[in-house]
Structures are given as C-alpha cells and as structure tokens.
Amino acid sequence: MTTRRKLIVTGANGFVAGSVVAQAGEEWQVHAVSRGEPLLRRDQLSWHTFDTESPEALTRLFLEVKPDALIHTAAMADIDFCQTHRESAYAVNVGLTRTLVDLCRATGAKLVFCSTDTVFDGEHAPYGEDAQPGPINFYAETKVAAEQAVACLGAQAVIARLSLVIGLPVLGAGNSFLARMIASFTDGRAVAVPEHEVRTPVDVITVGRALLELAAGRHHGIFHLAGHDRLSRFAMAQRIAARFGFAKELVLAQAVATAAGRAARPRDVALRNAKAGAELETPMRTLDEGLSLILKMSETPVL
C-alpha cells in the first residue's frame, strides 16, 4: 500500500488554491482549508471548513493531520481594502502566517508561502529574488512582514512571489480578472485597464503545478513564479482580447487612478524567473503559452 504525503492547503476556495487542489496528484493526501463550503469531493481530498484565524482550530488540524507540507495561499488581497482596514489586513496576512510558521516549526512541516510581486516599489525592475523589497501600500507591507516571518524557518520554507496570475477558475468562482474581462467583452462592454502598470503575468495552471513541486521537493528560499513576457496591463489585455476573438478596441487605456481611498500601486514590478527556470521542472511560460494552457485546462473536467 502506497503511503501518500499529507498536504494542507489554506484559502482553498481561492483562485490559486483551486489550481493546487485540482492538480494535486496521487502522491498527495490533500487537506483543503477554507471558510466556505467544499468545492470538490474526491478520494485523497479532505475538506475542512472553519475560521482560519482561529489558532486553536489550526492547531487541532495540524495535530490530527501531521502534514508533510503546507501551501499557504490564504490572504486578504484587496489592496484598497487593506489600505483602509489595516487591523484586519494585518491579522490575516501577518498574524495567520505567523501562527502557521509556529505550527510548521513545531511539526516539521514544509511551508510554501504565497507572496506577491508588489512587495517592490516598481522603480528598479526587473527584480530578482535577492532584490530588496520596498512596499508602497499597506497590503505589500503585510506581505513583507509575512515573508520575514516565513524566512525564519530557513531550509524548511519557500517564499513564492507570484506575479499577476491570470486564468479561468479551476474550482469555484475564484477571483479571476480574466473571467470578468471575457464576460464584459462577450456583452460588448469595454474594459478600462491601467496603461502604465507593468507585470510579468503567469497562468494559474503553471502556478498550481509549481507550488506543488516546491512543496514536494527540497527547494527553499525565495522563488519568483512569473511569465517570460514583460507587459503593461493594457498591452496584456489587448493580447488577451485578440486571443479570445474580440476587438482590441474593447480595451481602453486607463490613466493612473487617483480616486479617494485608492492605495498607491507600483509602476513596474516585472520579476526575473531564471531561478524557477533553472531549479523547477515546471516550465514558466509566455503569455500566449499560458493562455493555451488555460484554454486546454478549461476543456478538461475536474474530477
């Protein structure tokens, strides 16, 4: 009888975690953790529904499961909400992460933490893993603080900085700007996209596979999970429109927004992905390759 490794995935109702849970292979016994109801039922998958901010519930889960690895995707990621609700954002993005760091330290579980390209100030791109963070909004400040907590685990942990993740939800609704964009195009409605924000988009399928590989292997330290193409969000949206058969004119250039309550965004947070390319079997991809993978995956039912 094969002994499967045990994996906990937090934020399991989310966009990135859905890709992880759906793609976890036979080698994993997956324990999905979320506040919402289960999105999938199958062998080798257990779904745990509770408030992830409860240290007691998390401790009970770790003692029960005795995980080999944890992929921590749960976060408060709405940048503007974090800017105006700092106590809540800190509790989720930093407090929860510190609790999980302590649990991994106590149990020996490998921790793969999902961070963000926006930890950088946007003025010195492209950024390698050794670049110094320089957050310019409170959301990014919380992710830097969480990274520092995770780094204390040394070789027991990976910090995976994700660039802008694109795709269609693999499980549930998720928070997919691509799905919202296509829905608008289908209705004939134009979409305004920031013209001066530059990213290195990565598809959600590749991200899910890379996170699983990082959890399974001996990798540690910081990895940038990013695509090969360095694009403005405006240029990216135009290419997506064309790929899905819509007119580029449906994509409108949006100037830098200055609305009250809108947090500052970094201008260019393109990431270098050479380390991931050298150390992971999961290939990083161009935007077009990522879109092809997304379309292929959308045609394959999740069992």
Q: Which residues contact 196 (CB under 8 A, 6 or more apart)?
A: 232, 256, 267
Say whether 211 sits in a helix, a strand or coil: helix
Q: Return the amino acid letter for 196.
A: H
pTM listed for this prediction: 0.95
Q: Which domain CATH number covers 111?
A: 3.40.50.720
Percent of the chain with pLDDT over 70: 95
- Pairwise CA distance, residues 167 & 298, whole Å: 9
Domain containing residue 153: 5-298
Question: Could you read off the pLDDT of 10-64 as tens digits, one per residue?
Answer: 999 999 999 999 999 899 999 999 988 877 788 899 999 988 888 899 999 999 9
Q: Is residue 95 part of a domain?
A: yes
- In the structure encoding, which two tokens stand for residue 83, read together? 């800017």
Residue 90 lies inside a defined structural domain of this protein: yes
Structure tokens that stand for 20 in this block: 């992880």
User: d(Cα 253, Cα 256) in Å, to the nearest integer?
Assistant: 10
Q: Which two tokens stand for residue 8?
A: 């906990």
Residue 71 lies in a domain: yes
Chain mean position to CA 188: 30
User: What are the pLDDT digits (tens) for 130-149?
Assistant: 999 999 999 999 999 999 99
- Per-residue pLDDT, 54: 83
Quick check: is 255 in a domain? yes
Q: What one-character-per-residue DSSP string does 271-290 give?
A: B--HHHHHH-SSPP--HHHH
Please answer whether residues 229 and 286 qualify as being in contact, where contact means their C-beta atoms are separated by less than 8 angstroms.
Answer: yes
The answer to whether residue 206 sits within a structural domain is yes
The structural domain count of the chain equals 1
69 and 215 Cβ atoms separated by less than 8 Å: yes
Q: For 176-222, what is each residue's pLDDT tens digit? A: 889 899 999 999 999 999 899 999 999 999 999 999 999 999 999 99
Give the tens place of pLDDT for each residue, 254-277. Answer: 876 555 568 999 999 999 999 999
Return d(Cα 2, Cα 62) in angstroms, integer.
22
CA distance 230 to 24: 29
What number of helices (H) and strands (E) belong to the chain? 11, 13
Residue type, 119: V
The residues, any chain, with a CB within 8 Å of residue 60's CB and separated by 6 or more, are none
User: Minimal CA–CA distance to 204: which of 171, 236, 233, 234?
Assistant: 171
Average pLDDT over residues 232-259: 88
Alpha-carbon span 196 to 40, nearest angstrom? 39
* Tokens describing residue 235: 């240029």
Token pair in block for residue 26: 């036979």
Beta-bridged to residue 198, according to DSSP, are: 232, 268
Flag whether 121 is in a domain. Answer: yes
- The burial of 241, by beta-carbon neighbours within 10 Å (0-12 exposed, 13-18 middle, 19 or more buried), is given as buried
Using the predicted structure, report yes or no on whether residue 173 has a pLDDT greater than 80: no
- Does the residue 303 lie in any domain? no
271 burial via Cβ count (<10 Å: 0-12, 13-18, 19+): buried
In a domain, 110, yes or no: yes
**Chain mean pLDDT for the chain:** 93
